[in-house]
Amino acid sequence: MKRVAVLKLGGELIENDLRLKAMGRAIASAARKGRVVVVHGGGREIDAALAQVGIPKRQVDGLRVTDAETLNIVVSVLAGSINTKLVAAINAAGGKAVGLTGADAGVAPVEKAAPHKATNGETVDLGMVGTPLKATSPDVIETLCKAGYVPVIACVGASKNGKLFNVNADTLAGSLAARLKAKRLVIAGATPGVLDKKNQTIEKLDRERIEKLVKSGTANAGMVAKLAACQAALKGGAKNVAIVDGRAPGRLVKAVAGEKTAATTKVVN
Ligand SMILES: Nc1ncnc2c1ncn2[C@@H]1O[C@H](COP(=O)(O)OP(=O)(O)OP(=O)(O)O)[C@@H](O)[C@H]1O
Ligand SMILES: [Mg+2]
């Protein structure tokens, strides 16, 4: 099929009505120029929902340690509230968005993640966190894209016996970009790309520099998961991979179309 651009939106970019509206417009506009598959996170809204019911939050290298109670909140916030609102915002802007989760046919088959070897040396059982399997390209996404729809995917995965798992949104986007052999993976967040220790945007990152950034702690928390996802996407056959500032919608539309933009970190092999 015609190659797609996979766009990952960090939860911060869609956490209130104003931002949802802006992102809805940006995605509808990007989708007029070419095929787009959207994956979104929802970290801060999940944190807020957990706090409301008094469940403590625990994250390691940006990965959420997920017990059964946490999983229920993750699924209801991500696949319920955020996904539906984003789909509605894109459609209100004239797009043709369809909401999915990784539990939909073949979208994100996962298995329980192996204990995580953290950057601080600890080994941590992440609980109900899923690792995407190296499955074939998801049929339903190809079908939707071909028909002009924009699949919008909440980062929940399912195992082969039907159990749900929490999957980091960057991890899922990286895996999908690989399986779809995407022409581009654009990971949009609320920072001006990847920052060095002087808080300047790094223009280009290769494997060696990524290793140094993570080892030195200059890249930490959610950024660790993002960089791993970028490398997985490249390894799996995605063509271009970038981490961009998603707060300026116009710039985001350009990034999805493959045009050069400021505040962007290109990740290469
Ligand atoms: N070197 C770095 N450059 C930029 N951001 C960094 C760096 N190191 C760590 N970070 C942190 O990574 C965060 C982004 O990851 P985080 O998981 O919090 O958000 P997200 O992935 O965009 O959203 P979501 O988890 O909702 O999908 C930034 O807000 C920043 O605090
Ligand atoms: Mg994250």
Provide the percentage of residues in the chain whose pLDDT is more than 90: 99
Cα of 174 vs its chain's centroid, Å: 7
- Please report the sign of the dihedral spanned by the C-alpha atoms of residue 222, residue 157, residue 258, residue 233: positive
pLDDT 10s digits, 172-211? 999 999 999 999 999 999 999 999 999 999 999 999 999 9
Closest ligand relative to 198 C-alpha = 1
With CA atoms as reference, report the closest residue to 4 among 29, 22, 27, 31: 31
Q: Give one word for 196, left, alpha or beta, with left for phi > 0 and alpha for psi -120 to 50.
A: beta
Closest ligand relative to 119 C-alpha = 1
Is any atom of ligand 1 closer than 6 Å to the C-beta of 265? no
Between CA 46 and CA 43 the distance in angstroms is: 5
Q: How far is ligand 1, taken at its centre, from the CA of residue 221, in Å? A: 7
Model pTM score: 0.98
- Mention every residue, 6+ apart, whose C-beta is less than 8 A from residue 17: none
Q: How far is ligand 2, taken at its centre, from the CA of residue 160, in Å? A: 25
- pLDDT for residue 132: 97
Q: How far is ligand 2, taken at its centre, from the CA of residue 226, in Å? A: 7
pLDDT 10s digits, 66-120? 999 999 999 999 999 999 999 999 999 999 999 999 999 999 999 999 999 999 9
pLDDT grade for 228, boundaries at 50, 70 and 90? very high
Protein residue closest via CA to atom 21 of ligand 1: 10
Q: How far is ligand 2, taken at its centre, from the CA of residue 136, in Å? A: 25
Architecture per CATH, 5-267: 3-Layer(aba) Sandwich (3.40)
Q: Directed axis angle between helix 249-257 and helix 17-33, to 10°?
A: 30
Does 49 score more than 90 pLDDT? yes
- Mention every residue, 6+ apart, whose C-beta is less than 8 A from residue 225: 61, 62, 63, 168, 170, 171
Q: What is the mean pLDDT of the chain?
A: 97
pLDDT 10s digits, 152-168? 999 999 999 999 999 99
Q: Which atom of ligand 1 lies nearest, measured to the CA of 196? A: 1
Q: Which atom of ligand 1 lies nearest, measured to the CA of 193? A: 4
Q: How far is ligand 1, taken at its centre, from the CA of residue 126, in Å? A: 19
Closest ligand relative to 9 C-alpha = 1
- pLDDT for residue 245: 97
pLDDT grade for 1, boundaries at 50, 70 and 90? confident
- pLDDT for residue 256: 98
